[in-house]
Structure 1
Amino acid sequence: MWWGWRGRLRRQAGVADLPAVPDDAAPAVLSVAGQYVTTTSAGDWLDRIAVHGMGIRTNAVLELRDTGVLLLRKGAPDIYIAAGALEEVTTQAGMAGKFVEADGLVVITWRLGGKLVDTGFRTTEATAKKPLLQALKALVPAEAPQAHSPQAQRTELPEADTTRRNDENE
């Protein structure tokens, strides 16, 4: 396993450095305890990003700020995601190394340099997930493309086909 992890680190050497937390960062609007699961290449829940300690699962506190999201991780570098880098916020049942109930993980899709990545977070308290999701979705820029989401990839039936299917069911 060590050789595989070392090879992954070497292949990912070109991944941009983690953004620094701005000195003038606003105070937390919302703070939620939980577990940082991992960061993977967007849409590929098995392609774990190993560089910068991003592949290490840790306990964490997710702080939502007006300027972005701060993941305060225990034993690993903190991750700051500027609001402008956010692309999408969804839920999933799992990512590399962690699988839970349906929609049990909050997944933040964002740009790390030129690479689109997914970061997973699991709230400690189940009741904290819904307010967190709402607050995160409100922070995503309106013009952010959501091309890799399953909802965006679905093809809709033409209007005529939909009508015909409805007539057949009556």
Structure 2
Amino acid sequence: MNMPVPLAVGIWVVLGVVLLTLVLTGRRRIAARSRHLVPVPPALPMTDGALGETLLGPLEVVYVSSTLSGDWLARVGAHGLGDRSNAELCVYAGGIVVDRDGGAPVFVPAATLLDVGTAGGMAGKFVGRDGLVVLTWQVPADGEVEATALDTGLRPRHHADSARILEAVRPLISLSTPIVKDPQ
């Protein structure tokens, strides 16, 4: 059966609008669901030298996502932390900056780092054995939401950069003081 071209185009446009609406609705639901679980991340210090010495970077990475620590399928949509994007990673003595294209930078202060390692995937992005560098850190409480541990996945553009990132970040963990939740 041949359909007139304007009718066929109209059907495809309507189908596209429906699919786009479903995607946007899903993203809003993820953001709303995680907004009460994850505090607002720390802001990047704007004063020169506030982050200390540059230990590594900038390196090209893909910011995969942030998830609730230990549950790599629980993507955090709040505060833009669930948006995949190209990024540049810099490791400083005072913390890690992931400067994302089209999004606010993610700043991980050194004092909030809990662990760093590698993984094969997280939150819908599976790249194979040890393809992602995963930073485990604790977002400090913001007055409305308690402190929450997150896993942030980064995919280096060059495989050799994974080892360089791990080597630069591990000393920051040993210098940081673990954050303990108030046992109320």
- TM-score normalised per structure 1: 0.79
Query: In structure 2, how many angstroms separate the alpha carbons of the residues matched to 1:134 and 1:25?
Result: 18
Gaps of 5+ in 1: 146-170
8 Å CA contact 2:112–2:139 kept in 1: the answer is yes
Query: In structure 2, how many angstroms separate the alpha carbons of the residues matched to 1:33 and 1:9?
Result: 26
Find the structure with the greater CA-based Rg: 2
Give the SS at the match of 1:29. strand
* Aligned ranges 1:7-18 → 2 under 5 Å: 7-14=29-36, 15-18=38-41
Q: Post-superposition shift, 1:52?
A: 1.3
Q: Post-superposition shift, 1:21?
A: 1.3
- For residue 93 of structure 2, the aligned residue among 48, 57, 66 is 66
Task: Kindly indicate whether residue 168 of structure 2 is the aligned counterpart of residue 135 of structure 1.
Answer: yes
Task: Kindly indicate whether residue 123 of structure 2 is the aligned counterpart of residue 96 of structure 1.
Answer: yes
Query: In structure 1, how many angstroms separate the alpha carbons of the residues matched to 2:63 and 2:27?
Result: 19
Query: In structure 2, how many angstroms separate the alpha carbons of the residues matched to 1:115 and 1:123?
Result: 25
- Aligned partner of 1:5 in structure 2 is 27
Give the SS at the match of 2:30. helix
Task: Kindly indicate whether residue 48 of structure 2 is the aligned counterpart of residue 21 of structure 1.
Answer: no
Give the SS at the match of 1:141. helix
Moved more, 126-135 or 55-64: 126-135
Q: How many residues align?
A: 145
Tell me which stretches of 4 or more aligned residues in structure 1 moved more than 6 Å.
none
* Aligned ranges 1:157-168 → 2 under 5 Å: none
Query: In structure 2, how many angstroms separate the alpha carbons of the residues matched to 1:141 and 1:5?
Result: 36
8 Å CA contact 2:62–2:156 kept in 1: the answer is yes
Query: In structure 2, how many angstroms separate the alpha carbons of the residues matched to 1:87 and 1:81?
Result: 11
Gaps of 5+ in 2: 1-22, 141-146, 180-184
- TM-score normalised per structure 2: 0.74
- Aligned partner of 1:79 in structure 2 is 106
8 Å CA contact 1:84–1:141 kept in 2: the answer is no
* Aligned ranges 1:26-37 → 2 under 5 Å: 26-31=52-57, 32-37=59-64
8 Å CA contact 1:88–1:144 kept in 2: the answer is no
- Report the AA paired with residue 19 of structure 1: P
Q: Post-superposition shift, 1:3?
A: 2.6
Give the SS at the match of 2:169. helix
